[in-house]
């Protein structure tokens, strides 16, 4: 029988404090996420200092809850996986310090995990699992990258954003429309009642695997300035749906183009924006037309969570990966050819 390791995952890179227990890198025993959204809402975005302070207030409770939900205790944990970066440095340091403390007290190893690699590994916690190599789109508030994933820790960047991430485009668009924070979820909900062909917002960098969303943002700004009156509650769904489709179209088109260019028939999508209902629908439809198999984690595993971190950590720990107590957090972890360890 294959050896099944029990790993405690800890994630605190941005505004979610999360802990999870994962068995064998694939089996989710618990997944606790404490969101700070309510504390950042009034500022229209994440305030780094508030984020660090909120992490430190709740992280122990979140870990205790994850252990309780799994029916296990710290004594059962054989390793700890913690997000090392990229992310907000003060936030990362909270998770990292707690992981180090538990590791020190219990004498169990810990490993630092790349958050982006975590988003991709979320798919290994679902029933339908892809085979390496595959194409992955990581689309979140901080990243919009297409990768060729050859193995755990072996990724090649095929395309990336030249300016904003898609999640930022959602958040900033929502702000311009006076819809509040975080914008992605609000636009997603509103757009369900709207007509996506009402306004022809631009799709940039056609033909390339790279992305740019700054032109789209400017285009929304000019559209709003040109109107004689501000949008009414009746207009907003159409504007939201049209703006959303401009983002969705380029994400779908470029990711499937990457799969075709590299003759790969399996595509994984993850990151917060992968929770978008329109993106999921359009991706499934276009992938099917092209004979490409799509792998999409459920929304709760697309947005930030610690289970995805434990999934990567399990692989590292199994291969003998151990990090030292002098390991530091990295706010910008280059996503170039290979994740260096
Ligand atoms: O992966 P994530 O939870 O955190 C980062 O690593 O950035 O992604 C957060 C981003 C935010 O920009 C948020 O607006 C967006 O994901 N998001 C969505 C949806 N849910 C979250 N965007 C579009 N539609 C959604 N349903
Ligand atoms: Zn994320």
Nearest protein Cα to ligand 1, atom 7: 141
Expressed in angstroms and rounded, the spacing between residue 76 Cα and the centre of ligand 1 is 33
Between CA 169 and CA 21 the distance in angstroms is 33
Token representation of residue 163? 């300016």
In contact, 292 and 49? CB cutoff 8 Å: no
User: Is any atom of ligand 1 closer than 6 Å to the C-beta of 236?
Assistant: no
Sign of CA dihedral 247, 248, 253, 256: positive
Percent of the chain with pLDDT over 70: 97
Full-model pTM: 0.94
User: Is any atom of ligand 1 closer than 6 Å to the C-beta of 14?
Assistant: yes
The position carrying tokens 């709003």 is 224
Which ligand 1 atom is at minimum distance from the Cα of 244? 23
Expressed in angstroms and rounded, the spacing between residue 71 Cα and the centre of ligand 1 is 30
Predicted confidence (pLDDT) at residue 340 exceeds the cutoff of 50: no
Predicted confidence (pLDDT) at residue 341 exceeds the cutoff of 50: no
Expressed in angstroms and rounded, the spacing between residue 34 Cα and the centre of ligand 2 is 14
Which ligand 1 atom is at minimum distance from the Cα of 171? 14
Nearest protein Cα to ligand 1, atom 2: 272
Which ranges in 230-306 belong to alpha helices (H)? 236-261, 277-290, 299-302
pLDDT average, residue stretch 317-340: 82
Between CA 169 and CA 242 the distance in angstroms is 13
How high is the pLDDT of residue 281?
A: 98
Percent of the chain with pLDDT over 90: 89
pLDDT average, residue stretch 71-81: 98
User: Is any atom of ligand 1 closer than 6 Å to the C-beta of 184?
Assistant: yes
User: Is any atom of ligand 1 closer than 6 Å to the C-beta of 167?
Assistant: yes
Token representation of residue 73? 């205790």
User: Is any atom of ligand 1 closer than 6 Å to the C-beta of 276?
Assistant: yes
């Amino acid at each position: 029988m294959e050896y099944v390791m029990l790993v405690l995952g800890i994630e605190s890179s941005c505004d979610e404090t999360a802990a999870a227990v994962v068995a064998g890198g694939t089996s989710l025993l618990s997944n606790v996420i404490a969101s700070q959204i309510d504390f950042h809402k009034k500022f229209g975005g994440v305030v780094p200092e508030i984020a660090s302070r909120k992490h430190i207030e709740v992280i122990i409770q979140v870990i205790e809850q994850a252990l309780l939900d799994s029916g296990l205790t710290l004594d059962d944990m054989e390793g700890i996986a913690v997000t090392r970066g990229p992310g907000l440095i003060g936030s990362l340091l909270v998770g990292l310090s707690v992981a180090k403390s538990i590791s020190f007290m219990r004498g169990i190893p810990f490993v630092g995990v790349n958050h982006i690699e975590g988003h991709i590994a979320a798919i290994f916690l679902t029933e339908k699992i892809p085979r390496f190599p595959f194409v992955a789109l990581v689309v979140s508030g901080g990243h919009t990258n297409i990768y060729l994933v050859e193995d755990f820790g072996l990724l090649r960047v095929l395309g990336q954003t030249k300016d904003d991430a898609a999640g930022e485009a959602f958040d900033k668009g929502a702000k311009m429309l006076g819809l509040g924070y975080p914008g992605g979820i609000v636009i997603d909900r509103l757009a369900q009642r709207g007509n996506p062909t009402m306004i022809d917002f631009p799709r940039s960098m056609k033909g390339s695997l790279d992305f740019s969303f700054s032109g789209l943002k400017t285009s929304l700004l000019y559209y709003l300035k040109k109107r004689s009156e501000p949008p009414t509650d009746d207009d907003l769904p159409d504007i939201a749906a049209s703006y959303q489709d401009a983002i969705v179209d380029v994400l779908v088109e470029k990711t499937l183009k990457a799969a075709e260019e590299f003759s790969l028939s399996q595509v994984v999508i993850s990151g917060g924006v992968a929770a978008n209902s329109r993106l999921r629908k359009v991706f499934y439809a276009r992938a099917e037309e092209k004979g490409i198999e799509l792998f999409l984690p459920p929304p709760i595993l697309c947005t930030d969570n610690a289970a995805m971190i434990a999934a990567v950590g399990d692989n590292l720990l199994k291969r003998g990966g151990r990090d030292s107590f002098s390991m530091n957090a990295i706010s910008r972890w280059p996503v170039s050819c290979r994740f260096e360890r």
